[in-house]
Chain A
Amino acid sequence: MTALALYLANIVVLPLLLIGLIRKGKARLLNRAGPPLFGPFYDLWRLLRKEEVVSETTTLVFRAAPLVNLAAVLAVALMVPWAGAASPLRGDLFLAIYLLALGRFAVGLAALDAGSAFGGLGASRESTVSIQAEPAMVCAFVALAARAHSSSFQAMFAASPADGLGLVLVPLVLVALWLATMAELARMPVDDPTTHLELTMIHETLFLENSGPNLALTEFTVALKSVVLLGLCAQVARMPWAGLPPWTGEPLTLALIGLAALVVVVTESTAVKMRWRRLPNFLSFALVAALLACLLVALKG
């Protein structure tokens, strides 16, 4: 019972804390005071009490999409052992991937539903980035699943990398997952999350039409997806130390998520956003790393 309560507390508290941490870190790196650490919590509370402005051309799709997205990402968060502890529901790799894709599809439809050309631009750009990033993520997990002979996340992360294969496999999968995660979460160098210029937005175009409670749901979903994907990267990075006792799982995962947040902070403060046409060059390395990992696992037998 306490494990379940802790898990739910993770889902409620960690996402917004992570976003607050990243924002604070970016400000501190530039020697500014920055927003408060619990800023995203205040933002959410403020947005929930605001009046919503909805375009007249929208239909049920626009109202339903944030709910579908949140439901999908929440289901994935409950299914996948991203926090280092066992998840309440039993998770399967393909179900998780399809749920994330369902969420993305719903948000893309909502952007198109608003009737402006800008929504179409955003949906098209986001789909283009997802086409390149999603296969990398899937293939990286498929390599781990093939090695563990099971598509369950628990079995994947429990497979001990004691043999020499693990030494080469874990970095490859981690590189593929990291690049794909940066693309999925619309972080630098794929996309600048703090841009105000609509022509340079990829991910934020989808949320520009939302306001009030819709925006609150959407922001929470993005934060939850960030923490789940970074948690999965942390689980892969934790695999070489599978021999440690189980109670170290959660603290180690939190430390690794903090480290990932630090890397995100430094990258966002120093890197520039890539030109749109150079994006396939960048994301192809993710897919190549993932396919290499699959090839190595196939060779092992």
Chain B
Amino acid sequence: MVALFSVEPLSLMAIIVGLCTLGLTSLRNCMAAYGVQTVALGLLAIELGVQHGEPVALWVGCVVLLLKGVGIPVYLGVVARRIGCRRDEGLLIAPPLLMFATLAAIALLVLTPGMAAVVPLHVWPSLLLVTIGMIFMMTRRMALTQIIGFLMLENGIFLYGISQPHSMPFIVELGVLVDVLAGTMLGGLLAFRLSDTFDHIDTTVLRELHG
């Protein structure tokens, strides 16, 4: 059994927001939830930087908070509004049911007796966040929500990076951040192209023949 409660409240909040995002169907709300999650992780990085006296973590936290936490939701919101896509009903099972299933899976994972020995305590939040991001990416049909799922997965990796005892070098963190930003912009552009060509961004019907 894992004593998750002793983990930082901010990373717990990021996991809880991620779990609740699984149940959201409105695109605007998904982006807002992703923004809240990233702001929480940025604040966590700043707090860790202040606690351990590492200015690197502080700067990384600020940059993440502004660019990823505020910039990306705004950008994706503009893209979504131009495309006119509002709701994402999800694939196979309804979002609330998916939320329950993920909660059950997480509970099973965390309450299994041998787990505390296999996975160290500081890895658990990032592991759960990566899992939630992957599940979100896999079970959505619109291209934009799949991008948000990928971004949540990257949030999990970022959390792993800052929760290590020895933090990652500044250049690596910045490199990953630039990659993520570039990837998101390309994803937004691709969503535009999809919408131009097919008049929708529903990935499940992309194989239909037209005309």
Contacts and interface: CB of A to CB of B under 8 A. Distances in A.
B23 A288 contact: yes
B54 to A, nearest CB: 23
Interface string A269-301: 000000000001100110110011001101111
Given A288-B23, A301-B1, 8 more contacts: A164-B6, A281-B23, A281-B94, A285-B20, A291-B100, A291-B107, A292-B16, A299-B2
6 contacts: A168-B13, A281-B23, A284-B99, A288-B20, A288-B103, A295-B106
Contacts of A284: 23, 96, 99-100
Assign chain B's interface to a size class: 20 to 34
Interface string B1-35: 11111100100110010011001010000000000
Nearest to B95: A281
A191 B23 CA distance: 21
Contacts of B190: none
B110 interface: yes
Contacts of B96: 280-281, 284
Contacts, number: 56
Q: How large is the interface on A (under 10, 10 to 19, 20 to 34, 35 or more residues)?
A: 10 to 19
Interface of B: 1-6, 9, 12-13, 16, 19-20, 23, 25, 94-96, 99-100, 103, 106-107, 110-111
Contacts of B2: 299
A164 B9 contact: yes
B140 to A, nearest CB: 15
Question: Which of A291, A296, A299 has the largest count of B CB atoms less than 10 A from its CB?
Answer: A299
A146 interface: no
Main secondary structure of the interface of B (DSSP, over half): helix
A281 B106 CA distance: 20
Task: Count chain A CB atoms within 10 A of each CB in B6, B23, B96, B111 and give the residue with the most.
Answer: B96
Contacts of B111: 295, 298-299
A167 interface: yes
Contact of B103 (A292, A299, A300): A292
Contacts of A298: 111
A300 B111 CA distance: 11
Contacts of B94: 280-281
A264 B103 CA distance: 30
B95 A300 contact: no
Interface of A: 164-165, 167-168, 172, 280-281, 284-285, 287-288, 291-292, 295-296, 298-301
A295 B99 contact: no
A292 to B, nearest CB: 6
A165 B9 CA distance: 9
Contacts of B25: 281
Contacts of B4: 296, 299
Contact of B23 (A165, A172, A285): A285
Contact of B5 (A168, A281, A285, A288): A168
B174 to A, nearest CB: 31
A299 B2 CA distance: 6
A171 to B, nearest CB: 9
Contacts of A292: 16, 19, 103
A284 B25 CA distance: 13
Contacts of A301: 1, 3
Contacts of B13: 168
Contacts of A288: 19-20, 23, 99-100, 103
A299 B23 contact: no
A290 B4 CA distance: 17
A291 B105 CA distance: 13
B2 to A, nearest CB: 7
A168 B4 CA distance: 12
A111 B99 CA distance: 34
B5 A164 contact: yes
A285 B17 CA distance: 11
Scoring B5, B9, B25, B95 by chain A CB atoms within 10 A of each residue's CB, the highest score goes to B5
7 residue pairs, one from A and one from B, having the closest CB atoms: A284-B96, A165-B5, A299-B4, A300-B5, A295-B107, A281-B96, A288-B99
Contacts of B16: 172, 292
